[in-house]
Structure 1
Amino acid sequence: MVAQRLTPILVKKFIPGRKVDSRKGQNGKVLVIGGSYMYHGAPILASLAALRAGTDLVYTAVPKINASATRAISPNLIVIPMVDAKLTRGSANKLLGQAQSGLDSATIGMGLAVADEEGLKALVRELSAQDVRLSLDASALISSILPVLPQNIVLTPHAGEFQRLFGVLPPNKIKERVTLVEKHAREHSVTILLKGAIDVISDGKQTYLNPKNLPSMTVGGTGDVLSGLVAAILSKNRNSLESAAAASFVNGTAGKLAQKKHGFHIVATDLIDNISSAMKPFDKVIR
């Protein structure tokens, strides 16, 4: 198959409009699950990105040791403390009982310490059974999760996480990289967003490329911002391939704006500050 380069005209088709008379909650309810003793910032970045992308309600589930610090970052965050410092079957089941009904999407893994893989599997099974669209990142990207993945899920690995998932390191040549992503997306019936200088997004049937070529975006946290964008767009456009492609494009555009201002000296929050500018051309009002 021929990979298609993402353009603003194409991405505009992937980002749904907003009804002029819509009410709170109708423009997306997102659950973010992540964080650990060391990586408290990752789920915060994802949550703030999802909010800035236009999501009405974002619920941020973090270990209880991080709950107070997470709340202190921003009054915009709705924080759900998880009972254990790491993800266990018990904390996963407790969280499923606490989670709001009517969620549209959830993203799992940013900074998350997984003590029991069965807890992770329980989250994936139960949330997908409730028709919640899912994306997985970081520590949620483990090979043992593959058998329980629903078909409409988005996986957002970098090259090392791709190797951990599928047992093979993506090559540097873009043509070979595309072939590998398409193969595994097709075999597992998932959407893969392989992050890199050129993002490769495929569901095994159709493939998009997003050439970013931004050396500044090697800074930690930009992938967490991407996860929040994926969840935000998934909450409104339930097509996993289109949502992942649009999120990649917006993330890259925000990165370009940040690099234009700060050079190679950006931090992940600079991307969040530029999400609204990156998305504004795609705003549509439905009457």
Structure 2
Amino acid sequence: MVLKKRNIEGYKENYGHVIVIGGSRGFTGAPVITANSAVRSGAGLVTLYVEDGIESTVCSNILEAMSCTLSNDIRLKKLLKAATVIAFGPGMGMEKTLNILKYTLVNSTCSMVIDADGINVLHKNMKLLRGEKIVLTPHLGEFSRLTGLDIEEIKKDRLNIAKEFAHTHNVVLLLKGHRTLITDGKDVYINTNRNPAMANGGMGDSLTGIIASLIAQGYELLEATYMGAYIHGYIGDELSK
């Protein structure tokens, strides 16, 4: 893993614009964690889009990221076109997520990292994905819903099932868990740094922000995903001491 040296004359436009779309009533923390993780791992700009009723709550918990509401259609369409990468789904709930995901896919052409309920609504809707520019980051429960396979069945052959899924749907897949798997259907990486102290809410949201940030900074999707998993786990290991 080789992190690129940042240009001493670089400025924020050199390091990409991450759009985070997520959040819902009762789940305002998840998109905030994603946005803050994207900022702190080096993205040049970060904008967080949430539903109208929670923007004030979200704004009180972000400093360097910008915010806007999903109802601001003109600004949303403009930024979706200009975004380097979109992180979609943290804390979003299920009610309107599928429609918002469809809207996002129609109005953007950049890479996407899809997590949480963004993954859950893809069950029976995998044809929505355009391939080659999509990272999916499910845990076992979400992956079970995506594949229709029981969790125990997946556990017996995680590597091959993950690899086949990524190949079939032309996505980069990060399957969370002990020994997280990252694959594009051809190459497979296994992340070994992780510890039980990381078993709490918000860890996946943080990982989504780190991966999106690395993509925004110019890393290829597979590279950004396995590097993000390693950095996330390494920080967790260090802090747990």
Normalized against structure 1, the TM-score is what? Answer: 0.77
State the 1:227 CA deviation: 0.3
Greater displacement, 183-192 / 61-70: 61-70
Letter of the structure 1 residue corresponding to residue 123 of structure 2 = S
Match of 1:240 among 221, 234, 237: 221
CA distance 1:164–1:179, change in 2 (3 Å): same
State the 1:186 CA deviation: 0.5
State the 1:126 CA deviation: 2.3
Letter of the structure 2 residue corresponding to residue 120 of structure 1 = L
Matched residues in 2 for 1:134 and 1:48: separation? Answer: 17
Q: Aligned residue pairs: how many?
A: 237
- Higher RCO structure, 1 or 2 (CA under 8 Å, sep 6+): 1
Match of 1:52 in 2: 40
CA distance 1:112–1:173, change in 2 (3 Å): closer
State the 1:169 CA deviation: 3.6
For 1:163-202, list aligned pairs within 5 A: 163-171=144-152, 176-202=157-183
CA distance 1:238–1:134, change in 2 (3 Å): farther
Letter of the structure 1 residue corresponding to residue 183 of structure 2 = S
Deviations 1:57-80 (A, max 9, x none): 100111111111111113212011
Matched residues in 2 for 1:182 and 1:97: separation? Answer: 34
Consecutive unaligned residues in structure 1, runs of 5 or more:
1-10, 84-90, 261-287
Matched residues in 1 for 2:87 and 2:199: separation? Answer: 21
CA contact (8 A) 1:16 1:236 kept: no
Consecutive unaligned residues in structure 2, runs of 5 or more:
none
CA distance 1:46–1:190, change in 2 (3 Å): same
Which consecutive aligned stretches of 4+ in structure 1 deviate over 6 angstroms post-superposition?
Answer: 172-175
Letter of the structure 1 residue corresponding to residue 184 of structure 2 = D
CA contact (8 A) 1:193 1:202 kept: yes
Matched residues in 2 for 1:148 and 1:180: separation? Answer: 21
Matched residues in 2 for 1:216 and 1:40: separation? Answer: 23
Deviations 1:156-212 (A, max 9, x none): 000001011121245488772111100100000100000101110000010000013
Match of 2:113 in 1: 135
What percentage of aligned pairs have identical amino acids? 29
* TM-align CA RMSD: 2.0
CA contact (8 A) 1:51 1:232 kept: yes
Match of 1:68 among 45, 52, 56: 56
CA contact (8 A) 1:18 1:27 kept: no
Matched residues in 1 for 2:151 and 2:166: separation? Answer: 13
CA distance 1:52–1:80, change in 2 (3 Å): same
Matched residues in 2 for 1:105 and 1:172: separation? Answer: 33
Matched, 1:226 2:207: yes
Deviations 1:253-281 (A, max 9, x none): 11111211xxxxxxxxxxxxxxxxxxxxx
Matched residues in 1 for 2:156 and 2:194: separation? Answer: 16
For 1:12-27, list aligned pairs within 5 A: 12=2, 15-27=3-15
Match of 1:105 in 2: 85
Letter of the structure 2 residue corresponding to residue 133 of structure 1 = S
SS at match of 1:37: coil
Match of 2:124 in 1: 144
Letter of the structure 2 residue corresponding to residue 32 of structure 1 = V
SS at match of 2:181: strand
Deviations 1:190-242 (A, max 9, x none): 00000101110000010000013411111000000000011001112352111
Matched residues in 2 for 1:173 and 1:124: separation? Answer: 29
Matched, 1:249 2:230: yes
CA distance 1:146–1:106, change in 2 (3 Å): same
Match of 1:211 among 172, 192, 212: 192
Normalized against structure 2, the TM-score is what? Answer: 0.91
Matched residues in 2 for 1:71 and 1:179: separation? Answer: 42
Greater displacement, 39-48 / 233-242: 233-242
State the 1:53 CA deviation: 0.4
